Amino acid sequence: MSGLRMLVGSDSAGYDYKQALLADLQADERVASVVDLGATAESLDSCTYTSVATRAGELIMAGEADRAILVCGTGIGVSIAANKVPGIRATVAHDSFSVERSILSNDCQILTFGQRVIGLQLARRLAKEWLGYTFDPSSHSKANVDEIVSYEAAVAAE
């Protein structure tokens, strides 16, 4: 997939990795654009993982971005928060197989990492791998993704 419109973000606990991933995304020829959702050096104490993750989900659902990579201390908080946005499928993944399956089996739009959990070079490598995967809507996994989407729509209609 080429021309991805990417988002990257973090709270203070993921700031250093976010900065490295931002530079990598800006240099990747598969990426058309990157928007940094925070934290910044000036907002480290006030930027929450919740606000960054929900903003990323909202922008993706509005069609303003294709995917996001988010970082907090464990990757769990940003994943949970992003998944609260209707239509978003976000996951924390710290290994190649999970990164692969996040797209091929689940069509995830958001990948999250934990700066306190994973080494920087591995996070950078996994992010690069993740960009190379595309969901195949003719795969057997589409039925599972459709079931998730249908359930979410039914709950929203209640």
State how far Cα 135 lies from the chain centre.
15
- pLDDT per position as a tens digit, 65-119: 999 999 999 999 999 999 999 999 999 999 999 999 999 999 999 999 999 999 9
**What angle do the packed helices 120-131 and 15-27 form, to 10 degrees?**
40
Place of tokens 């996001």: 68
| Average of per-residue pLDDT across 143-153 | 95
pTM (2 d.p.): 0.95
* Token output for 47: 């930027």
Q: Cα 15 to the chain's mean position, in Å?
A: 15
Domains, the chain, with CATH or none: 4-157 (3.40.1400.10)
CB 50 within 8 A of CB 72: no
User: What percent of the chain shows pLDDT beyond 70?
Assistant: 97
Average pLDDT over residues 134-144: 94
Let me know: does 56 contact 36? Beta carbons within 8 Å.
no
Distance CA 136, CA 139 (A): 5
| 90-92 vs 31-36, strand pairing mode | unpaired
Q: Which pLDDT band holds residue 2 (cuts at 50, 70, 90)? A: low
Is 35 buried (19+), middle (13-18) or exposed (0-12) by CB count in 10 A? middle
Cβ pair 139, 36 in contact under 8 A: no
What pLDDT is recorded for position 83? 98
Catalytic hit among 6, 31, 34, 72: 72
Establish whether 108 is a catalytic residue.
no
Instruction: Please answer whether residues 8 and 69 qualify as being in contact, where contact means their C-beta atoms are separated by less than 8 angstroms.
Output: yes
pLDDT at residue number 79 = 98
Nearest to 71 by CA among 11, 132, 141: 11
Going through the chain in order, the beta strands assigned E by DSSP cover 4-10, 31-36, 67-72, 90-92, 110-114
